[in-house]
């Protein structure tokens, strides 16, 4: 069996275009242009690429971007000042603080300082709590994109065995929660999971968010499974690969998301969706 590809790039493009049309209508109806503040501290090259892509997508969809590049040595107190100003700025409906932050800054303090009403990443404990409750709040962009990708296959989530590998606050934990809300039976795995390959082989839906190149091999996947690859890893030979061994797993899976062109573009599309949602709430 050769898996069908979940084309995140195309799906994200369609969603971005839909957001663009919605933004146009929103501006016409309210006179308000949705605005996203992007805070990047330091010069991590991967973060710089992500932020550039996020800003480009915002521009194309008609969102207003407030750019806040800050030097790597920015003191925590100065970063907090920037966030307080953005919290108070009515033209800003979403605040994104790109992670990771430099080591001298306590990320938790910073993420807790972002107003929950502008927390388009869904990282503030208020929104984390709303997600656990199943109530309306901002949902983190990557797992939100993963769910849209599964839905795009036309397969149901309800009743399926879903295995999420990786327990990060950004992806693994919220992905598990969203799958649970969609009535999957969810197993959340991590580095200390016993016999991980056997657990993965039980998955109808497998979400790989480990951060290790080609970690999920063909023998770890059930025939016909839906496999979502959240990883982005650069190999020594320069190739960009996911956490899934694509060539092996495509022979087993029913559906598979590629890297690049899978989950990555969907994260950006969901950021646009969340920013427009922030603006809608602000004028409601």
Catalytic residues: 54, 98, 121
What distance, in Å, lies between the first and last C-alpha atoms of the chain?
50
Which residue's CB is nearer to ligand GUN, number 62 or number 145? 145
Nearest to 164 by CA among 140, 135, 193: 193
State which of positions 38-77 bind ligand GUN (CB under 6 A): none
Closest separation between CB of residue 181 and ligand GUN, Å? 19
**Torsion from C-alpha of 169, 95, 50, 149, nearest 10 degrees:** 60
In the complex, the smallest distance separating the C-beta of residue 93 from ligand GUN, rounded to whole angstroms, is 16
Does 119 bind ligand GUN (CB under 6 A)? Our answer is no
CB nearer to ligand GUN: give 32 or 80: 80
Q: Judged by CB under 6 A, which stretch of 92-100, 213-221, 222-230, 276-284 contacts ligand GUN?
A: 92-100
Token pair belonging to 48: 């710089």
Q: Nearest Cα to 143, choosing from 116, 167, 173?
A: 173
Continuous H helices in 141-260: 141-152, 172-181, 196-201, 246-249
Query: Binding-site residue total for ligand GUN (CB under 6 A)?
Result: 9
Between 257 and 267, whose beta carbon lies closer to ligand GUN? 267
| Strand spans (E) along 94-204 | 94-97, 161-165, 185-189
Task: Determine, following the binding rule CB under 6 A, whether residue 141 of this chain makes contact with ligand GUN.
Answer: yes
Hey, which residues between 94 and 113 contact ligand GUN (CB under 6 A)? 96-99
Neighbours of 201 (CB within 10 A): 17
Which residues lie across from 97 on neighbouring strands?
39
Q: Does 82 bind ligand GUN (CB under 6 A)?
A: no
Per-residue interface string for the shown chain with ligand GUN, residues 214-243, x marking contact by CB under 6 A: ------------------------------
Angle between helices 8-30 and 263-283 (to 10 degrees): 20
Residues that bind ligand GUN (CB under 6 A): 96-99, 121, 141-142, 170, 267
């Amino acid at each position: 069996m050769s898996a069908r590809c979940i084309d995140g790039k195309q799906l994200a493009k369609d969603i971005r275009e839909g957001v663009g049309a919605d933004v146009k209508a929103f501006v016409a109806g309210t006179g308000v242009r949705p605005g996203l503040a992007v805070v990047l501290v330091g010069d991590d090259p991967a973060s710089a690429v992500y932020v550039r892509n996020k800003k480009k997508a915002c521009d194309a969809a008609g969102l207003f971007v407030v750019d806040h590049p800050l030097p790597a040595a920015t003191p925590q107190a100065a970063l907090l000042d920037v966030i307080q100003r953005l919290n108070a700025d009515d033209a800003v409906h979403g605040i994104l603080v790109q992670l990771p932050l430099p080591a001298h800054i306590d990320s938790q303090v910073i993420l807790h300082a972002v107003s929950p009403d502008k927390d388009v990443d869904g990282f503030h404990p208020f929104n984390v709590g709303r997600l656990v409750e199943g109530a309306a709040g901002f949902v983190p962009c990557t797992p939100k994109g993963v769910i849209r990708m599964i839905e795009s296959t036309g397969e149901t989530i309800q009743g399926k065995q879903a295995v999420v590998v990786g327990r990060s606050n950004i992806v693994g934990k919220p992905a598990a929660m969203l799958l649970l809300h969609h009535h999957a039976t969810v197993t959340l795995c991590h580095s200390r999971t016993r016999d991980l390959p056997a657990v993965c082989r039980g998955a109808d839906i497998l979400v790989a968010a480990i951060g290790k190149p080609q970690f999920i091999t063909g023998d770890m996947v059930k025939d016909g499974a839906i496999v979502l690859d959240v990883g982005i890893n650069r190999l020594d030979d320069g190739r960009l690969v996911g956490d899934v061994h694509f060539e092996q797993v495509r022979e087993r899976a029913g559906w598979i998301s590629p890297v690049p062109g899978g989950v990555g573009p969907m994260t950006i599309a969901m950021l646009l969706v969340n920013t427009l949602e922030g603006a809608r709430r602000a004028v409601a």
